[in-house]
Structure 1
Amino acid sequence: MSDTRIALISGANRGIGAAVAQVLFNAGWTVSLGMRTPQMPDWAEDAPDRVHVFAYDAASEKSAQDWAKAVMETHGRIDAVIANAGIMIPKTPIEITDDEMAQLLDINVQGPRRLAAACWDGLKVSGKGRVIILGSLSGKRVKSARAGSYAMSKFAAVGLAHALRHTGFEDGIRATVVCPGFVATDMALAISDRAAEAMTDPKDLAAVIQMLIELPNEASVAEFCVNCQLEESF
């Protein structure tokens, strides 16, 4: 078994996931990067032994299981899971089709649940496993009609994090849902007129996630909200 803590990060090819991967790597973690098209990042050149890439599909239960198995076989441990992969379909609950709604729920809710389940036994081993669900402030309030369907999926993701927190608490697993507002990623920039510099920097969100997964069991955080503007989240 490796002596270095290892974190699995889904959706690690860009945006928040890529930022989390780099921040954790720089903090001394080994990172396993779940990507649709695996590619070793440039920043990993100095210590490629601490970066593992895997072809991960958030819509596939087998993909989650295969990823967890590969990490356990290679590194012998799983210390943290950051379930970041997600999609946005900007439609009202009236406009959206059954297939589109099913896709939102599958990727944004079932995907994190499947990944946590696949990693669960590994997370138990150290007695201080960590699960981060990337939620959204859209999981705390519905800000607009066209964000409504996405918000429904993120409300469910918030519930998932709380359910995981209860499920794993006695085994030392701590689950937290991180709920950001606008983050300067391709997804947010595509649906907002706000300039990137007026949004939360992905690296700042990554620093929050690092802090959360490094807290001791006695400092459990159920929800962490981050916003780039003054706004009520409930």
Structure 2
Amino acid sequence: MIRVLLADDEPLIRVGIRTILSSDPGITVVAEAGDGHEAADLAGRQRPDVALLDIQMPGADGFTAIELVHRASPATAVAMLTTFGTDDYVARALDGGANGFLLKAATPRELLTGVRTVAEGGAFLSPKVTRRVITGFRARREARTRPDHERVAALSPRERQVLALLGAGASNAEIARELHLAEDTVKTHVSAVYVRLGVRNRVQAAIIAHDSGLAAER
């Protein structure tokens, strides 16, 4: 069962999202919050698998809440759920450590797929913002292409395999099956790859994998 924390300052929005999530027998909403501070407090107590955070909330907004939730419950994956899919919002969310970015205009199926993907250790972006995100990150990273290649070259052979699979969009469970490893071992390798590359999430790691040609090596 995927346990979800839902944070949005509009009660009617929370009702609608909760209704959609509850339509999947494998997902349950364990807590609801109206601001970022409350979301972090509930994350620390409930330890949800996924925190769905709105961006525009009183007190602590969604960007601040990402850090607060991760601090309170490091194992909780964060996905943003917002009306606004601007380049700046997407970039700030992913830079802050979010693993997903969903629009409130998304279809119910897209929302459920996003929650499941993030819960399984993957990254999910609403299709409407995916191309802009990749283009934006590449443009911002042009000045550091050489350092990225040097960091990739410094990875161990196993870490390079993990990065290649991240570049292919594989979840932790899929990486474990592909490499015949325990899922906990995969999580350790993924964390090590993040640290060595200086990235915060799977989207950033995947872009580096593609830029360095690793994804094509599979």
TM-score by length of 2: 0.45
Determine which structure has the larger helix proportion and give its number.
Answer: 2
TM-score by length of 1: 0.43
